[in-house]
């Protein structure tokens, strides 16, 4: 089955977009903010917290970046209006990082100001290596004035060892994930390109450093074996459960997320919505080939 899923993932570019969309409905709340609100309400009722993500990445103009910033503001208003247990995740490239860094920073600060007024929180997503240094520098500048912001780090990058030490000295909130963007091998930890399990030791190292320094960490993975190792670490080191949470994607590994919640761990679900469903879906399929298997099977089933 694993081999089938891997082959299926490689075949995704040749599969009709309509079939990818059929499967994406499980992993994306919908096209509208109302769809996302409804999904978060269901998750909250079951005991999960959520992170709302507006789909869409690199923009090419100030107008597009302003529109995306406006959408984030609508999300914050919706969280407040509906008393949702949710925060937001923001992508600097969608706010114009690669168009005008100063204007991108202004938009990020405006979002953080609005979130802070509602006692809410935002995590800055980490994107590909074109953005990595810029995003860390952006985070450092805004974090100096806003305590309600965290940063995602990718365990498959060599540079994360240095980056995390800088952030830990400031006791910053972090999200540790494996990483999904296609990068040149020079940037990656050993064997990370061809073997996702090779990242696990690095992932554990980074999470352990957060535990030891007392920095809050979001553990973003669906790897059951990795999660078991981290739970053993939590128990061995007697880590306070308020100092971390598990984070998982909407519709992915639901039995595992339910098990973690039943064990008393805090579990946050990443809830994307918006029109850029294809780009998001294909990236997630590459990260989790089992999704690709469902897409292939959908070719032989009816709606």
Mapped onto helix, strand or coil, the DSSP state of residue 152 is strand
Mean predicted confidence (pLDDT) in 252-258? 94
Name the one residue in this structure whose structure tokens are 């089933």.
301
pLDDT score recorded for residue 27: 86
Give residue 237's pLDDT band: very low, low, confident or very high (50, 70, 90): very high
Non-local CB neighbours of 232 within 8 Å, separated by 6+ positions: none
With a cut of 60, say whether residue 183 has pLDDT above it: no
| Residue range 81-124, pLDDT digits in tens | 999 999 999 999 999 999 999 999 999 999 999 999 999 999 99
With a cut of 90, say whether residue 78 has pLDDT above it: yes
Of 293, 295, 217, 227, give the one whose Cα is nearest residue 255.
227
Catalytic residues: 125, 175
pTM score, two decimals?
Answer: 0.86
Which ranges of 118-189 does DSSP label H, i.e. alpha helix?
132-143, 160-169
What is the number of other CB atoms lying within 10 angstroms of the CB of residue 181? 18
Cα–Cα distance for residue pair 174/74, rounded to 1 Å: 24
pLDDT score recorded for residue 188: 64
Give residue 18's pLDDT band: very low, low, confident or very high (50, 70, 90): confident
The tokens describing 203, both together, are 């992932």
Mean predicted confidence (pLDDT) in 162-174? 94
Name the one residue in this structure whose structure tokens are 């074109």.
130
Residues pairing with 154 in the sheet: 177
Cα–Cα distance for residue pair 176/20, rounded to 1 Å: 27
Q: Where do the domains of the chain lie?
A: 29-273
Domain spanning 29-273, CATH class: alpha beta
DSSP letter for 188, please: B
What is the number of other CB atoms lying within 10 angstroms of the CB of residue 63? 10
């Amino acid at each position: 089955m694993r081999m089938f899923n891997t082959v299926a993932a490689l075949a995704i570019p040749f599969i009709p977009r309509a079939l990818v969309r059929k499967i994406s409905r499980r992993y994306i709340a919908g096209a509208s903010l109302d769809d996302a609100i409804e999904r978060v309400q269901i998750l909250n009722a079951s005991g999960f917290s959520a992170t709302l993500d507006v789909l869409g990445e690199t923009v090419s103009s100030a107008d597009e970046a302003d529109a995306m910033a406006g959408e984030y503001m609508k999300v914050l208003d919706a969280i407040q209006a509906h008393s949702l247990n949710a925060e937001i995740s923001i992508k600097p490239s969608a706010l114009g990082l690669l168009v005008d860094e100063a204007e991108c920073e202004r938009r990020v600060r405006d979002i953080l100001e609005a979130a802070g007024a509602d006692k809410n929180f935002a995590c800055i997503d980490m994107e590909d290596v074109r953005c990595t240094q810029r995003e860390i520098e952006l985070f450092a500048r805004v974090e100096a004035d806003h305590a309600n912001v965290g940063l995602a780090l990718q365990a498959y990058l060599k540079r994360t060892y240095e980056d995390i030490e800088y952030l830990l000295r400031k006791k910053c909130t972090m999200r540790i994930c494996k990483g999904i963007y296609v990068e040149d091998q020079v940037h990656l930890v050993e064997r990370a390109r061809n073997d996702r399990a090779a990242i696990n030791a690095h992932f554990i190292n980074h999470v352990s450093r957060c535990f030891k320094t007392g920095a809050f960490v979001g553990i973003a993975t669906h790897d059951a074996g990795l999660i078991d190792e981290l739970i053993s670490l939590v128990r061995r080191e007697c880590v306070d459960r308020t100092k971390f949470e598990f984070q998982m994607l909407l519709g992915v590994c639901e039995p595992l997320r339910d098990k973690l919640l039943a064990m008393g761990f805090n579990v946050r679900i990443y809830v994307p919505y918006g029109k850029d469903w294809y780009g998001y879906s294909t990236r997630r399929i590459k990260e989790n080939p089992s999704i690709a298997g469902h897409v292939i099977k959908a070719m032989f089933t009816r709606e």
